[in-house]
């Protein structure tokens, strides 16, 4: 998230709603858990830094451990310092991508992006509205946050939408919703953080997100075209010369995803190396080619701002891992799973309903990164256990990731506490409550996308199907267990020891191991010839 994702001053009505929800949550946690747990939740609602909430909660939990031998500070460290976290390339990638986003937001990239999209798509029914959807999605990917998209892209397009006679209700709803569309696209920061927390290969995640992200953009674009036709909005005549000129003006920024994709696709760079290359390229084009920014006045300022945000994200990540160390040690997910199965939730479709509601509420109460860090480690064991109990209902890690990110997109726009509502209220000088109705059609469209992604696995798995097949073929050729394929086929409870996902593999690889080779048949025991009872002559042997 960028600095602009911080919500502006909250209206009295929204504050009362928020306080009511917060008070109910504190009371519920205190009754269901303990007074200390309720106090921790209360501190979170009062604005205490999230890293201190997570780190402090982890230490309090260890100090209250029934076994006195665990009453030491060192028990918050194992999952923070192990190789799966401390050595992850994502910890380098996050600051670099955050820096790239800040540079692009400060430059004139939003103007060039909108101009190019408008000239290319403006002739279509609802063309300018479709421009808003696509430009917002792309800019959210580049900057990592919905707030800067609403302020930069929305600020440019809202007056243009009104000038073309789109209704105020539609225009406000579109620019408010557009700020979160890019979360479900390759290279988005929330996707990177999810991949780190869930132990998902980020290159595969980038591929898997393509179809669900395109699905959401298509749904919003179709609705925009329908509104443009219904409201008889004027179209801009297509002019090839203007299209070429506008795209040419954006040529240097268009090379950013090309550069990143080429590095990762060819294997010449890892994700952190590709991020460093993109950061260097962005500095060159914005400071020395376009010269939108001054390296003397702006470079240090932008770097300091972006690194402050990146440092906060990494600190929250580390404290979240410390807290999850206790959660895993105490088998908290299993206890909650037992409770859920006890009340009748035994199938994946039932769990998906509960999970979507939970994620939606969590996404309204917490910003995106925090919601990922809190919820993902809790949800993964549930999905793995339900799949273990019902092998035919196993879910791929990519489908779970898409469900999670799409819930975040909806939560950002969902009344009454969606973050985008407050940012849009501030940017366009509208009461927050007045935005509730205008965003609901868009929330409904995103909900349709969520249902499709939740109950049709094809959308999340089709882009990685060939990689799964390749992993299986390689394992078959090498004569080993296809663990890499299993990591992509279903959510694993223990990523260090992947288990089979299908009934066929369970039978072929019992307990996730190669079947034992059958022992060679025992040769018949040699018998000695006894002359007293047997004919030991050559003629007798021939008989």
Sign of the Cα torsion 472, 477, 481, 483 reads: negative
Q: How far apart are CA 314 and CA 143, in angstroms?
A: 17
Degrees to nearest 5, angle at CA 264 with 259 and 270: 110
pLDDT given at position 216: 94
Write the Ramachandran bin of 144: left for phi over 0, alpha for psi from -120 to 50, otherwise beta: left
Q: What is the pLDDT of residues 1-57, one digit of tens each?
A: 443 344 444 445 555 555 565 566 555 545 545 566 667 667 666 666 767 777 777
pLDDT of residue 25: 54
Q: For residue 1, what pLDDT is reported?
A: 41
Question: Is 351 a domain residue?
Answer: no
Q: Give the other-Cβ count within 10 Å of 362's Cβ.
A: 17
Q: Is residue 105 part of a domain?
A: yes
pTM: 0.72
Distance in angstroms (rounded) separating the CA atoms of residues 307 and 298: 14
pLDDT value of residue 208: 94
**pLDDT of amino acid 367:** 64
Cis peptide before 416 (omega within 30 of 0): yes
Is there a domain that residue 331 lies in?
no
- Does residue 452 lie in a domain region? no
Contacts 24+ apart (CB under 8 A), 155-160: 155/427, 156/110, 156/111, 156/114, 157/114, 157/128, 157/131, 157/132, 158/428, 160/118, 160/128
Q: How many domains does the chain have?
A: 1
**Token pair in block for residue 48:** 């205490």
Encode 182-203: b = buried (16+ Cβ within 10 Å), e = exposed: bbbbbbbbbbbbbbbbbbbbbb
Identify whether the C-beta of residue 378 lies closer than 8 Å to the C-beta of residue 334.
no
The residues near 322 (Cβ < 8 Å, ≥ 6 apart) are: 54, 55, 58, 76, 77, 79, 80
Q: Does 196 fall in a domain?
A: yes
SS (H, E, C) 175-214: HHHHCCHHHHCCCCHHHHHHHHHHCCCHHHHHHHCHHHHH
Q: Is residue 495 part of a domain?
A: no
Q: Cα(76)–Cα(56) distance, rounded to whole angstroms?
A: 10
pLDDT at 450: 92
List the domain range (segments joined by +) for residue 254.
Answer: 89-308
Is 64 a domain residue? no
Tokens of 483: 């663990």
pLDDT at residue 46, rounded to an integer: 66
Kindly state the tokens that stand for 178. Answer: 């557009």
| Stretches in the chain below the pLDDT threshold 50 | 1-11, 29, 32, 522-523, 533, 541-543
Q: Tell me, yes or no, whether 334 lies in a domain.
A: no
191 to 1, 201, 213: CA distances (angstroms): 12, 11, 12
């Amino acid at each position: 998230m960028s600095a602009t994702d911080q919500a502006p001053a909250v209206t009295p009505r929204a504050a009362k709603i928020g306080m009511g929800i917060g008070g109910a949550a504190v009371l519920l946690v205190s009754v269901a858990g303990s007074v200390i747990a309720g106090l921790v939740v209360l501190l979170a609602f009062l604005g205490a830094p999230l890293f201190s909430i997570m780190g402090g909660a982890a230490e309090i939990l260890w100090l209250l451990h029934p076994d006195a031998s665990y009453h030491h500070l060192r028990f918050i460290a194992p999952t923070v310092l192990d190789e799966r976290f401390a050595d992850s390339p994502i910890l380098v990638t996050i600051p670099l991508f955050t820096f790239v986003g800040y540079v692009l937001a400060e430059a004139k990239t939003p103007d060039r992006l909108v101009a190019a999209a408008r000239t290319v798509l403006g002739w279509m029914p609802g063309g300018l509205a479709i421009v808003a959807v696509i430009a917002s999605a792309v800019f959210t990917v580049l900057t990592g946050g919905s707030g800067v998209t609403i302020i930069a892209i929305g600020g440019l397009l809202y007056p243009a939408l009104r000038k073309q006679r789109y209704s105020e209700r539609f225009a406000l709803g579109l620019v408010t919703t557009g700020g979160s569309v890019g979360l479900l696209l390759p290279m988005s920061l929330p996707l990177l953080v999810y991949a780190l927390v869930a132990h998902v290969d980020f290159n595969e995640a980038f591929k898997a997100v393509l179809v669900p992200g395109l699905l959401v953009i298509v749904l919003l674009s179709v609705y925009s075209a329908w509104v443009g036709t219904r409201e008889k909005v004027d179209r801009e005549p297509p002019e090839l010369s203007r299209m070429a000129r506008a795209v040419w003006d954006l040529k240097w920024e268009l090379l950013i995803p090309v550069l990143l994709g080429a590095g990762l696709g060819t294997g010449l760079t890892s994700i952190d190396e590709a991020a460093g290359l993109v950061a260097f390229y962005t500095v060159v084009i914005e400071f020395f080619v376009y010269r939108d920014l001054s390296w003397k006045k702006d470079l240090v300022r932008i770097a300091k701002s972006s690194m402050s945000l990146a440092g906060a994200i990494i600190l929250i990540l580390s404290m979240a891992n410390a807290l999850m160390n206790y959660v895993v040690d105490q088998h908290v997910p299993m206890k909650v799973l037992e409770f859920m199965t006890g009340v009748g939730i035994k199938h994946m479709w039932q769990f998906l309903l509960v999970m979507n509601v939970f994620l939606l509420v969590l996404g309204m109460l917490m910003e995106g990164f925090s919601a990922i860090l809190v919820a993902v480690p809790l949800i993964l064991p549930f999905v793995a256990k339900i799949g273990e109990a019902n092998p035919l209902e196993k879910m791929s890690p990519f489908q779970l990731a898409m469900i999670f990110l799409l819930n975040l997109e909806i939560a950002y726009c969902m009344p009454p506490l969606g973050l985008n509502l407050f940012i849009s209220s501030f940017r366009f000088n509208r009461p927050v409550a007045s935005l509730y109705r205008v965003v609901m059609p868009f929330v409904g469209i995103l909900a349709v996308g969520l249902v499709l992604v939740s109950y049709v696995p094809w959308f999340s798995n089709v882009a990685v199907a060939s990689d799964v097949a390749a992993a299986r073929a390689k394992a078959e050729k090498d004569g080993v267990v296809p663990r890499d394929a299993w990591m992509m086929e279903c959510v694993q409870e223990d990523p260090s020891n992947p288990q089979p996902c299908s009934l066929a593999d369970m039978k072929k690889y019992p307990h996730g191991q190669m079947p034992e080779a059958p022992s060679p048949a025992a040769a018949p025991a040699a018998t000695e010839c006894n002359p007293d009872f047997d004919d030991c002559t050559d003629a007798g042997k021939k008989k």
